[in-house]
Amino acid sequence: MDAEIGIIGGSGLYSFLADATTVLPDTPFGPPSAPLTIGEVAGRRVAFVPRHGRHHEFPPHAVNYRANLWALRSVGVRQVLAPAAVGSLRPELGPGTFVVPDQVIDRTWGRPHTVHETAGHVVHVAFADPYCPRGRAAIVAASDADVRPVDGGTLVVINGPRFSTRAESRMNAAAGGTIVGMTGMPEAIVARELALCYSTVCLVTDHDAGVEAGEAVTHAEVLAQFAGNIERMKALLTRVIAALPAHEADATATCTCRHALDGQQLGFELP
């Protein structure tokens, strides 16, 4: 086991890992967004992959979500933390707020949404609760005076790379959305299909355009907000990593996420 915990996030997290090395695993879906960086955080072995590549070269619809998660699993990862920048669909959730969603609405299209494509092997996984309950609990419990994550909410995932129109923003809020982003799907379902524990913590960078007081947002503003809060995100992730349950062998794992494929006939062997 090279690592037990995986992080998929922005390139600003590279300096997060101590005594880091890199590895580029082979996957059936091509290369991940970048080589994995493996090191230590809070005494735990952690593997990091920048979701959009080392130089932010992959837009949301072109990220190889399947390769990223397969690569993490292949080096031993079974718990994944996925920090992300989002827009707020609620006036009370302003920039700088951390949200730990418990539900997702998928409005993406044209992205590969499954790893189970082998002919003759139909695989259906439960997804009523898309995020790992133990991972979510660890994030919420990692609250301190500086970061108090909002417990619960619905993440609406749009295709991007453009931002929403005002009408789309109002529609997403009316549908029950709390926050809106571009990368949460198919990342979450691919993780479930690989029997990984997956949790996301979202940093609000702006109010979406259709929200009260919301204005048209720019990519530069989103990056600036995320960069301005990166140290708060690192501190939160450090506390979460220290608090996550110890690594469990696949056969004896107690989390339901790890048993998502039980009883199903797969067309390949999991790494």
Tens-place pLDDT, residues 106-136: 999 999 999 998 878 889 999 999 999 999 9
Q: What is the mean pLDDT of the chain?
A: 93
Q: What is the pLDDT of residue 14?
A: 75
Q: Which of 17-26, 212-221, 230-239 has the lowest mean pLDDT?
A: 212-221
* Predicted confidence (pLDDT) at residue 67 exceeds the cutoff of 70: yes
Judge residue 271's burial from the number of C-beta atoms within 10 Å of its C-beta, 0-12 exposed, 13-18 middle, 19 or more buried: middle
Cis, bond preceding 112 (omega within 30 deg of 0): no
What pLDDT does 131 receive?
Answer: 98
Compute the average pLDDT of residues 242-259. 94
Choice among 146, 206, 250, 262 that is catalytic = 206
Q: Cα 151–59–79 angle (5° rounding)?
A: 40
% of the chain beyond a pLDDT of 70: 97
Q: What is the mean pLDDT of residues 36-53?
A: 95
Residues 266 and 219: their CA atoms lie apart, in Å, by 40
Please confirm, yes or no, whether 208 is among the known catalytic residues. Answer: yes
Strand duo 202-207 + 98-100: pairing:
antiparallel
| C-alpha torsion sign, points 183, 106, 201, 226 | positive
- Nearest to 66, CA basis, from 179, 222, 174, 191: 191
Contact (Cβ atoms closer than 8 angstroms) between residue 49 and residue 68: yes
The pLDDT value recorded for residue 213 is 61
> Per residue in 173-229, pLDDT tens?
999 999 999 999 999 999 999 999 999 999 999 999 878 765 666 677 777 877 788
Q: How far is CA 212 from CA 25, 87, 105, 216, in A?
A: 46, 13, 21, 12
pLDDT category of residue 255 using cuts at 50, 70 and 90? very high
What's residue 227's pLDDT?
Answer: 78
Q: How confident is the model at residue 141 (pLDDT cuts 50, 70, 90)?
A: very high
Q: Using the predicted structure, report yes or no on whether residue 170 has a pLDDT greater than 80.
A: yes
Confidence check: pLDDT of 10 > 90: no
Between CA 249 and CA 16 the distance in angstroms is 26
**pLDDT value at position 171?**
96
Please state the rounded mean pLDDT for residues 261-266: 92
Catalytic residue chosen out of the listed positions 2, 102, 208, 262:
208
Tell me what pLDDT residue 256 has.
95
| Tokens representing residue 264 in the block | 């199903």
Cα separation, 86 vs 237, whole angstroms: 17
Write down the pTM of the prediction: 0.94
**Is there a catalytic annotation at residue 250?**
no
With contact defined as beta carbons under 8 Å apart, do 36 and 72 qualify? yes
Torsions phi, psi for 69 (to 5 deg): -75, -40
Fold of the domain built from segment(s) 5-259: Rossmann fold (3.40.50)
Q: What letter represents residue 3's amino acid?
A: A
How big, in percent rounded to 5, are the helix, strand and coil portions of the chain?
A: 30, 20, 50
- What distance in Å separates the CA atoms of residue 38 and residue 5, rounded to the nearest whole number? 10
pLDDT at residue number 226: 77
